[in-house]
């Protein structure tokens, strides 16, 4: 039996909260040629376009989070950009996700964020709800072709009557399975129902042992799957996507929490104390249990498919499979959202050059063919065509994205991903599901913790 440690104690001991030491920087590159990005339609009449491109040397800064393959893609694309724009140097800053939002929120508050930032969609509301942080990209349409995005995608990034970013990709959650382990347990098909999940939990325990589980869910994953479950059963968004008015009663939410608890009790997912005792703050794909097949499934973003496959050892890698969305009720639960966007900060001294960089990365063949699907399936029509023509769209990511977009039917509200709610170790979602597992509490026991936390970040809880 694993010696469990408290998540809160782990965070306290290791100092995992915060951004210190998480940033890595790399200098930009310049090349020999010069060109101008294609122009699009004129800027909206109410927006004054930015000035022209400079012929003098210009330095831009850019930041993003991600894994190694995304870091490499961005850096290669930046090199190609500098080869076409010899007077523009791009200095990037990047790291893994853990602690990244804490770092960026501090930079936004201090006015020292990079010129071009990869951002989460909800950051528009968290850090620029009055349009104070990011440039209205309608002012940059001489350099950034906004016609490459569908109106609905652009509208999702229009806050305070300003087009504050462009979406890099759209995303949602789906199940991934390690069928190498499932086959060891005598199961030959991916789970397609709640009954399948519960049966797999029992079979894994009986045939493979107590340390094998068909699915893994961290605290935030549990919250997302809980919402997925409730939306499947009741057929309504978690909250109003505009006003963030909660659409569920306390009793319904308690039922959702008990659903997650039933997965723990049924040996479908590992308890959080057991996971922390073995892995501390490590993400699932970094855990020995995932790598060796003892955790045989996860519920993750479609853009994460190759990350989870690549993490498996040689014995288990061939079994990696994109599963099907599970219908827990009469409705298709789950949501899609803007996976991430690219924005220009208002402290940027060269917005025309910054917009030219974004256009190169997302719309132009030379950049989009390098970026491929490293940030998910491209939302830009021109970018997707270029990535597909270059064979740079990963099949697993495309399969996962296609299944998600064909199934999910709900909308996400901008407060769901508030850092105070979802942060590892300190967030309210963490507190709720830690309490359930550590103290063996029911949904009714902890639902007020969740509702109070939601109220504190701005939800209307009726």
For residue range 193-212, list pLDDT tens digits in order. Answer: 999 999 999 999 999 999 99
pLDDT at position 356 is: 98
**For residue 31, is it within any domain?**
no
Pure H helices in 113-184: 123-128, 151-156, 179-184
Q: Is 172 left (phi over 0), alpha (psi -120 to 50) or beta?
A: beta
Instruction: Tell me whether residue 245 is in a domain.
Output: yes
Which of 370, 387, 406 is at the close of a domain? 406
Q: How many CB atoms lie within 10 A of CB 395?
A: 12
Neighbour tally for 24: CB within 10 Å: 11
User: Is the domain of 434 the same as that of 322?
Assistant: yes
Whether residues 78 and 152 share a domain: the answer is: yes
Query: Does residue 417 fall inside a structural domain?
Result: yes
Domain annotation covers residue 35? no
151 and 249 within one domain: no
Residue partners of 15: CB distance under 8 A and separation at least 6: none
Query: How many Cβ atoms from other residues are within 10 Å of residue 265's Cβ?
Result: 14
**Do residues 165 and 182 share a domain?**
no
Residue ending a domain, among 373, 389, 406, is 406
Distance CA 1, CA 35 (A): 63
User: In this predicted structure, what is the pLDDT of residue 242?
Assistant: 85
303 plus 370 within the same structural domain: no
Q: For residue 37, what pLDDT is reported?
A: 36
pLDDT of residue 18: 36
Query: Are 343 and 239 part of one and the same domain?
Result: no
> Do 310 and 452 fall within a single domain?
yes
Q: Report pTM.
A: 0.82
Task: Please indicate, yes or no, if residue 19 is contained in any of the structural domains.
Answer: no
| Per-residue pLDDT at 27 | 32
Cα distances from 457 to residues 131, 188, 414, in angstroms, run 19, 44, 11
Contacts from 95-98 at CB under 8 Å and sequence distance 24+? 95/22, 95/23, 95/24, 95/65, 96/22, 96/65, 96/66, 96/67, 97/65, 97/66, 98/16, 98/22, 98/281, 98/283, 98/424
Task: Assess whether 79 and 178 both reside in one domain.
Answer: no
Q: Is residue 210 part of a domain?
A: yes
396, 425: one domain: no
Domain shared by 307 and 252, yes or no: yes
Which portions of the chain are predicted below pLDDT 70? 1-48
Specify whether 288 is located in the same domain as 422: yes
Quick one: 342 and 331 in the same domain? no
**Residues in a beta bridge with 92:** 62
Number of domains in the chain: 2
pLDDT at site 49? 75
Q: What is the CATH number of the domain that holds 308?
A: 3.40.190.10
Which residues are registered as beta bridge partners of 31?
Answer: none
Residue-range definition of the domain harbouring residue 329? 173-336+412-457
Q: Is residue 156 part of a domain?
A: yes
């Amino acid at each position: 039996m694993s010696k469990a440690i408290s998540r809160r104690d782990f965070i306290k001991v290791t100092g995992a909260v915060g951004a210190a030491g998480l940033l890595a920087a790399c200098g930009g590159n310049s090349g020999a040629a010069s060109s101008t990005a294609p122009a699009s339609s004129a800027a909206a009449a109410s927006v004054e376009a930015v000035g022209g491109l400079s012929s003098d040397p210009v330095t831009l800064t850019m930041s993003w989070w991600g894994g190694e393959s995304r870091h490499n893609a961005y850096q290669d694309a930046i090199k190609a950009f500098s080869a076409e724009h010899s007077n523009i140097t791009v200095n990037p800053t990047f790291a893994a996700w853990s602690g990244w939002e804490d770092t960026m929120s501090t930079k936004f508050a201090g006015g020292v964020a990079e010129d071009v930032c990869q951002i989460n969609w909800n950051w528009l509301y968290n850090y620029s709800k009055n349009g104070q942080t990011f440039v209205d990209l309608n002012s940059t349409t001489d350099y950034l072709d906004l016609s490459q995005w569908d109106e609905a995608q652009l509208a999702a990034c229009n806050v305070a009557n300003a087009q504050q970013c462009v979406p890099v990709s759209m995303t949602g959650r789906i199940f991934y399975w390690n069928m190498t382990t499932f086959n060891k347990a005598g199961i030959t098909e991916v789970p397609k129902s709640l009954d399948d999940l519960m049966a797999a939990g029992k079979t894994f325990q009986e045939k493979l042992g107590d340390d094998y589980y068909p699915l893994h869910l961290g605290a935030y994953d549990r919250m997302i799957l809980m919402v997925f479950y409730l939306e499947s059963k009741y057929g309504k968004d978690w909250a109003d996507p505009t006003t963030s008015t909660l659409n569920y009663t306390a009793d319904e939410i308690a039922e959702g929490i008990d659903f997650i608890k039933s997965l723990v009790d049924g040996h479908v997912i590992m308890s959080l104390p057991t996971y922390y005792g073995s892995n501390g703050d490590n993400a699932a794909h970094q855990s020995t249990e995932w790598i060796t097949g003892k955790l045989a499934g996860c519920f993750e973003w479609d853009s994460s498919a190759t990350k989870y496959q690549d993490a498996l050892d040689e014995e288990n890698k061939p079994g990696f499979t994109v599963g099907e969305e599970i219908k827990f009720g009469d409705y298709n639960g789950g949501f899609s959202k803007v996976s991430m966007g690219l924005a220009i900060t208002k402290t940027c001294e060269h917005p025309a050059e910054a917009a030219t960089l974004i256009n190169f990365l997302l719309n132009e063949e030379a950049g989009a063919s390098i970026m491929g699907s490293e940030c998910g399936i491209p939302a830009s029509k021109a970018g997707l065509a270029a990535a597909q023509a270059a064979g740079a769209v990963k099949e697993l990511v495309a399969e996962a994205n296609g299944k998600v977009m064909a199934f999910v039917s709900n909308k996400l509200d901008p407060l769901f991903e508030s850092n105070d709610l979802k942060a590892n170790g300190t967030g309210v979602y963490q507190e709720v599901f830690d309490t359930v597992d550590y103290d063996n509490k029911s949904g009714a026991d902890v639902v007020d913790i969740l509702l109070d936390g939601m109220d504190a970040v701005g939800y209307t809880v009726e």
